[in-house]
Amino acid sequence: MRSEESFALFSPMKDSNDEYEDTEIAEKSPNGRYIRYNEVLGREFGATSKIAYKGFDVGDGMEVTWNKLRVNDLSKAAEQVEERLNTLLKPLRHKNIIKSYSTWVDHETGSINVITESFTSGNLREFRKKHRSVDVVAIKNWSRQILQGLCYLHTHDPPIIHGDLTCGNIFINGNTGELVSSASECLKIEEGHKGNKVDTRILLEKVKDIQVRQFIEKCLVPASYIMGSSSVEELLKHPFLEKNRTSLAMDMVKEADCHPVSVMEFKALNERNEFRLTGERRDGNSASLVLRIADLCGRRRVTNIEFEFCVDTDTTISVAGEMVQELGLPMEDVTLIVELMDNLIIKLVPCWMPSFARFNGVKRSYVDPIFGF
């Protein structure tokens, strides 16, 4: 290394760059360790607005992200914010949760400042726009990482609900494919569930893989149905996320192509029973189904249930829920029966959409065991 380069590396560089620092540095942290530049990395607006700026850690000589949150009437919520900063955000340590280095409240400007690690590849939304060809293996890997981060938050003491999990709040290391979720959203004070009015039926119609569609449906359960942390743990066990993917752990007894067929049969097993569902399409939008349940626990009892399914009025969730309730089966069997029915009916009636399309009409007692929320 040349002598002038060595001097440039280790010198404070004050004189020649005073003008640059004065124009580019917008703010310094109270302890002087972190500086904020004017470059904006991202914005979010609402009752609590958030702007992410490019920052720098003078002590460690590395780039950071300086998040500035503004809360309406911070003076009324100051105590609550301080508590969240001290008890929720600072102690978080997980490979899939973004690292928080420093936090403080600026009462003069009415802002909350959160210094976090920086990700040069940006958030997942931006990353997917740059790279449109992504294999399902990578998508499954991303999904596992997101759920592992959520599981950590939900099992934290006290439990933490993220509140605003979007691709804009999930950041990626483009060199390793590792994802981290921003946790600063837990500081937001506004109440209620924020969500865009999106026609999920239209979007789900574009998903041709039944197993992928079912996984998406379970992730889209409304916030009012969320119950505890077991939901995330059950999503992590979903067949879609299995590394050696099988077809929903079901064997298709009769082969069929993508065209509508008249008779189909699917089967599935769990620790207690074998379930075999046979279906035949009737005239119009209805199907005649027979569910055969064979006991595998020594009693060798076989139960056959015959029923009609109308695609215009029935949902697999409600039918399976009533069936399990009447037969006295364990509630976890609802999930398996729903998956059998979804796979069979969509073969008999290809234009039919699975149960999520009419999700709002489902009784909650049936939803909890299905989605684990």
pLDDT tier for residue 84 given thresholds of 50, 70 and 90: low
What are the structural domain ranges in the chain? 15-117, 124-189+199-241, 250-371
3-state SS, residue 219: helix
pLDDT tier for residue 246 given thresholds of 50, 70 and 90: very low
- Whether 287 shows a pLDDT value over 80: the answer reads yes
Higher pLDDT, residue 265 or 19: 265
pLDDT tier for residue 150 given thresholds of 50, 70 and 90: confident
pLDDT tier for residue 112 given thresholds of 50, 70 and 90: confident
Please tell me the predicted confidence (pLDDT) of residue 298: 64
| Cβ atoms of residues 288 and 296 within 8 Å | no
- Whether 200 shows a pLDDT value over 80: the answer reads no
Please tell me the predicted confidence (pLDDT) of residue 59: 93
Name the least confident of 29-33, 123-127, 299-303, 351-355: 351-355
- Whether 253 shows a pLDDT value over 50: the answer reads no
Q: Which of 286, 240, 292 is nearest to 269 (CA)?
A: 292
- Whether 37 shows a pLDDT value over 90: the answer reads yes
How many whole angstroms separate alpha carbon 315 and alpha carbon 297? Answer: 30
- Average pLDDT value over all residues in the chain: 73
- Whether 61 shows a pLDDT value over 90: the answer reads yes
Tokens of 226: 């969320």
Please tell me the predicted confidence (pLDDT) of residue 73: 65
Check if CATH label 3.40.718.10 holds for domain 15-117.
Answer: no
Q: Cα 60 from chain centroid?
A: 33
Please tell me the predicted confidence (pLDDT) of residue 57: 95
Name the least confident of 47-51, 140-144, 169-173: 47-51
Please tell me the predicted confidence (pLDDT) of residue 352: 74
Q: Cα 251 from chain centroid?
A: 29
- Whether 103 shows a pLDDT value over 50: the answer reads yes
Non-local CB neighbours of 126 within 8 Å, separated by 6+ positions: none
Please tell me the predicted confidence (pLDDT) of residue 86: 66
- Whether 33 shows a pLDDT value over 90: the answer reads yes
- Whether 257 shows a pLDDT value over 50: the answer reads no
Please tell me the predicted confidence (pLDDT) of residue 77: 62
pTM score, whole prediction: 0.56
Non-local CB neighbours of 27 within 8 Å, separated by 6+ positions: 35, 36, 66
Tell me the average pLDDT across 203-231.
70
pLDDT tens digits, one per residue of 66-78: 989 887 666 666 6
Tell me the average pLDDT across 108-130.
86
Domains 15-117 and 124-189+199-241 share a fold: no
The topology under which CATH files domain 124-189+199-241 is Transferase(Phosphotransferase); domain 1 (1.10.510)
- Whether 146 shows a pLDDT value over 60: the answer reads yes
